[in-house]
């Protein structure tokens, strides 16, 4: 910091959200308990490195203000110039308190599937983020954090799990069943952050789908179905109710999910002669702002006598 009008700098005040967190003074040439020894008793240039402990600040936007001032024995009369900056704070992942790390690596794995940076799973199945933390010292007991970002416009990053590093440097973090998401694995020690970013989980939607009532019917009767698709953004999503016709599937009814993701439908048998078995399913296509890949339910069987 420097004075541009040939004045002198007496000190700096730093505030976080309007609260003073640090004050520093320059070495001014003053008579003890008396006046200044010259017309320019303080330096015209000063260089400060003032740390801001963000762990004491709330998450989100925070205002940091730095004000430099000239010499005045009355603080109310001194001239000041201030600059303000807005910073984003995220304290959701705690500082480990363990040791410095040099590298972190992680992959996703579901069940007995192969571990990879990107995996594809059913929406009703979870996964695990597995990895290792390396450091110059013993990293056992350190905390690593798992963040997720749902595949939706404007969705922010959210902490979903933490885990302790094992004696061999490995760790495992749980990924719950749900929508398609991006994951970041984070390790924080003091001001240093290590991240494994952009692990991708593609979620294939699997609706629940059940036959309501009897599964043995006669020609001319109706079979009723009910089911549910997972959220978020399930309200109003289209579901195709389908019956198998040979090797193909024929859609006999289009329904929409309610605010709980639930749907209902029925099918009337009119062309059955003798004894026949019908196979049904519910299928969901790719839809905008619905964070799932296309998929279908388990198959349901109904026997009909003509």
pLDDT value at residue 5? 52
| Same domain, yes or no: 247 and 155 | no
pLDDT tens-digit series, residues 123-138 = 999 999 999 999 888 8
Residue numbers of the domain that contains 234: 208-305
Domain termination residue (choose one: 62, 89, 116): 89
How many domains, in total, are found in the chain?
Answer: 3
Identify the band that residue 255 occupies on the pLDDT scale cut at 50, 70 and 90.
very high
Domain termination residue (choose one: 176, 204, 232): 204
Residue 97 lies in a domain: no
Alpha carbon distance 182, 241 (integer Å): 31
Alpha carbon distance 256, 205 (integer Å): 15
Phi-psi region of 76 (alpha: psi -120 to 50; beta: other; left: phi over 0): alpha
CATH code: domain of residue 264: 2.60.40.1930
Residue 96 lies in a domain: no
| Same domain, yes or no: 200 and 215 | no
How many CA within 13 A on the CB side of residue 197?
4
Alpha carbon distance 243, 296 (integer Å): 12
- 3-state SS, residue 178: coil
Alpha carbon distance 144, 200 (integer Å): 18
Contacts with 213 (C-beta within 8 Å, 6 or more apart), sequence order: 223, 224
- Residue pointed to by tokens 């003032």: 50
CATH code: domain of residue 128: 2.60.40.10
Residue 39 lies in a domain: yes
| Same domain, yes or no: 199 and 213 | no
| Same domain, yes or no: 220 and 232 | yes
pLDDT value at residue 2? 47
Residue 199 lies in a domain: yes
pLDDT tens-digit series, residues 51-109 = 888 778 887 789 999 988 887 666 666 788 899 999 877 777 877 656 888 899 999 99
pLDDT tens-digit series, residues 157-198 = 899 999 999 999 999 999 999 999 999 999 988 767 888 889
Residue 98 lies in a domain: no
CA dihedral 23, 29, 32, 34 (to 10 degrees): -100
pLDDT value at residue 56? 80
> pTM surpassing 0.75?
no
| Same domain, yes or no: 81 and 108 | no
pLDDT value at residue 235? 97
Residue 142 lies in a domain: yes
Contacts with 209 (C-beta within 8 Å, 6 or more apart), sequence order: 225, 227, 280, 281, 282, 297, 298, 300
Alpha carbon distance 304, 282 (integer Å): 20
| Same domain, yes or no: 114 and 65 | no
- 109 within 8 A of 115, measured Cβ to Cβ: yes
Domain termination residue (choose one: 204, 233, 260): 204
Alpha carbon distance 176, 172 (integer Å): 13
């Amino acid at each position: 910091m420097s004075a541009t009008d040939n004045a002198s700098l007496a000190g700096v005040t730093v505030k976080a959200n309007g609260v003073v967190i640090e004050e520093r003074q320059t070495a001014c040439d003053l008579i003890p308990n008396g006046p200044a020894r010259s017309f320019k008793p303080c330096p015209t240039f000063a260089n400060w490195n003032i740390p801001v402990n963000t762990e004491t600040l709330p998450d989100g936007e925070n205002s940091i203000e730095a004000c430099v001032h000239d010499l005045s024995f009355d603080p109310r009369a001194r001239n000041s110039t201030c600059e303000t900056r807005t910073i984003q704070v995220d304290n959701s992942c705690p500082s480990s308190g363990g040791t410095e790390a040099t590298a972190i690596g992680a992959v996703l794995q579901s069940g007995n599937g192969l571990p990879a940076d990107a995996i594809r799973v059913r929406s009703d199945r979870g996964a695990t983020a597995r990895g290792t933390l390396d450091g110059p010292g013993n990293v056992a007991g350190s905390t690593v954090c798992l963040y997720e970002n749902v595949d939706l416009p404007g969705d922010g990053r959210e902490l979903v799990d933490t885990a302790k590093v094992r004696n061999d440097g490995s760790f495992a973090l749980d990924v719950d069943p749900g929508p398609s998401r991006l994951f970041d694995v984070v390790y924080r020690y003091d001001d240093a952050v290590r991240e494994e970013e952009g692990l991708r989980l593609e979620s294939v939607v699997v609706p629940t789908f059940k036959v309501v009532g009897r599964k043995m019917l006669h020609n001319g009767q109706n079979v009723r179905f009910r089911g549910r698709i997972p959220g978020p953004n399930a309200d109003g999503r289209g579901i195709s109710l389908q019956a198998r016709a040979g090797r193909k599937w024929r859609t006999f009814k289009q329904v929409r999910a309610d605010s709980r993701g639930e749907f209902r439908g029925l099918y009337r048998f009119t062309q059955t002669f003798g004894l026949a078995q019908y196979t049904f399913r519910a299928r969901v296509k790719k839809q905008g702002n619905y964070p799932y890949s296309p998929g279908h339910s388990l198959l349901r069987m109904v026997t009909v006598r003509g």
